[in-house]
Amino acid sequence: MCGIVGYIGTQTASGILLEGLQKLEYRGYDSAGIAAIWEGEIHRVRAKGKLQNLQEKLANWQIPAPIGIGHTRWATHGKPEEHNAHPHTDVSGRIAVVQNGIIENYRELREELKAKGYVFHSETDTEVIPNLIADELQKLKAIDSKVSLLDATRQAVNQLEGAFALAVISADYPDELIAVRQQAPLSIGFGQGEFFCASDTPAMVAHTRTVLTLENGELARLTPTGVDVYNFAGDRLRKYPKTLNWNPILVEKQGFKHFMLKEIYEQPGVVRACLEAYLDSDWTVESTTSPIRLGLADSFYENLEQVQIVACGTSWHAGLVGKHLLEQLADIPTQVHYASEFRYAPTPLMPHTLTIGVTQSGETADTLSALDMEKRRRSEMGSKFAPKLLGITNRLDSTIGHLVDYLIDTHAGIEIGVAATKTFIAQLVAFYCLALDLAYRRKTIPLDRLDQIVTELRQLPAQIESILEVQERYVEQLAHEFVETQDFIFIGRGINFPIALEGALKLKEISYIHAEGYPAGEMKHGPIALLDAKVPVVAIAMPGLVFEKVLSNAQEAKARDARLIGVTPMDDQEAREVFDDLLPVPEVEELLSPLLTVIPLQFLAYHIAARRGLDVDQPRNLAKSVTVE
């Protein structure tokens, strides 16, 4: 989910571009860059990492160019290195492009262009676009010397497959900025003798509130004298801008319709923030310390024989994933309890037990009460039963911070939507880090296996981003078919059973549709009686130990006329034959799959609820932080 900003007018573009990118930084932290036209040349500055790095590079920028484009990136194709940062240019350096989205057929286009002599310097899908435009310009100029940048861009984008938004400039056309939208957001801003384009309107609101949102299959030519909009067939369109009625809450939503949708899109950044905080970037199998840096005192690791987790709602589901990780990686017996039940029926006291309380707000009454009770009753016993309490929370300054001995910060930032999304995925990352840390210290898995898991964890933010880029539109269309549905079943096995529970909970919370999550193997022991053509079944089927079993369980549901929706790898042929609808995710090993499989289920719940016209952010009868019993 990259951020695009463009400017053409009378002011110096660089300052406006940088200001716009600051408003869009939530869309990407991997790298950033700008390109501007001055004195017949394209001048480009790019920087790896956060926007601050680009800002420092621009401190001595002395180019008063009145036209330019900027970009802040989430890596999808190619690592987050400067040579992969946008803007990208053609082989001659005369055309510059920034892109949000994914070009699905870039490999084929790249090979065709290479055969014509074009040279590529990045691993991105974006670099094919300026070279393709350059190639089309060459072809068109052979026919008519008066060809425009718009004409060549239109010819090029008609060859692209995927979801994308583009901003294009050329040193040979210093008074033109081309904006393109195809299934990725892009808007045009109208100022006094100046024009803007951006992925999100907050990037422009400091300069104008008159905005035209491009529709799919449209491109616009911005010049110092005005804006013309065309479709991909070349027909000029009559479009009218609107004046934004901005208020503080809309600005806070950063252009998203709901906080929940905004927070779903923030999840790659949340995962990356957690990993940056807790993974040792210099760790190798030869290291003599843990790859995880949780900052916990040595006393935390002493005499640890078992774990009990207390939580509520979505945090309880995170605890179930945590149980799987702690048992399978660190070989520690683990129990998960509803905090509200644990308070009145606590387990018998066992020695050397770690109690983990999971609460995003740090204020959940039942969880705090369960922890306090455990602390008090253990304090009355001998040293073997001494309380050892860990909190996993999004708010270190909350009550839980004063109650427990140890804390893990989930680094999710404030979450406003009542239905937890980014805080859930942050809790999962916290459990992954905890389990890996304990596994290293307890020597329960080989170092090469640990290294493999850590390596794949680092790739997850980009993989989540790829889901966000390509899947929302499809899920939105699919959701239309379930507006009148009254019941849903979600199934999963192993580490993805808790994700089935979480998917069902999200749907219940915001759409008010009855939904239940089950272990897939338990369907035949009762719930299968619920199935008919009116009850869709969502199955999470990721390659691994239970993959074939889940597909078999899904077949049982299909035999009862249930419509099957599969959360499964993108290119698995067997899954395609089983499911009626697919919510594909990148293929990843089963152990890490919950961090991906939950994303389509969040989208499904959101779009069904939004289509039903419900208050997604503040569903009835629910509160963000449950501070009463």
Residue entry with tokens 């994700």 = 499
218 beta partners: 181, 231
From the list 23, 323, 508, 624, the catalytic residue is 624
CA distance 447 to 162: 40
Residues near 243 by beta carbon (within 8 Å), at least 6 away in sequence: 209, 210, 211
Name the DSSP class of 183.
S
**Amino acid symbol at 244:** L
Residue entry with tokens 């053609």 = 90
* Bridge pairing between strands 195-198 and 187-190: antiparallel
Instruction: Name the region of 49 (left: φ>0; alpha: ψ -120 to 50; beta: rest).
Output: left
Among candidate residues 14, 20, 46, the one with its CA nearest the CA of residue 31: 46
Sign of the CA dihedral with 204 first, then 206, 207, and 212 last: positive
CB 478 within 8 A of CB 604: yes
CB 441 within 8 A of CB 301: yes
Active site residue 534: no
Active site residue 624: yes
CB 102 within 8 A of CB 93: no
Three-state DSSP state, 367: helix
C-beta atoms surrounding 517 within 10 Å:
24
* CA atoms in the 13 A half-sphere facing the CB of 441: 19
- DSSP-H helix ranges across 287-397: 313-328, 339-342, 365-379
**Amino acid symbol at 450:** L
- DSSP-H helix ranges across 405-520: 422-442, 447-479, 497-511
CA 250-254-255 angle, 5° bins:
75
Enumerate the active-site residues: 2, 624
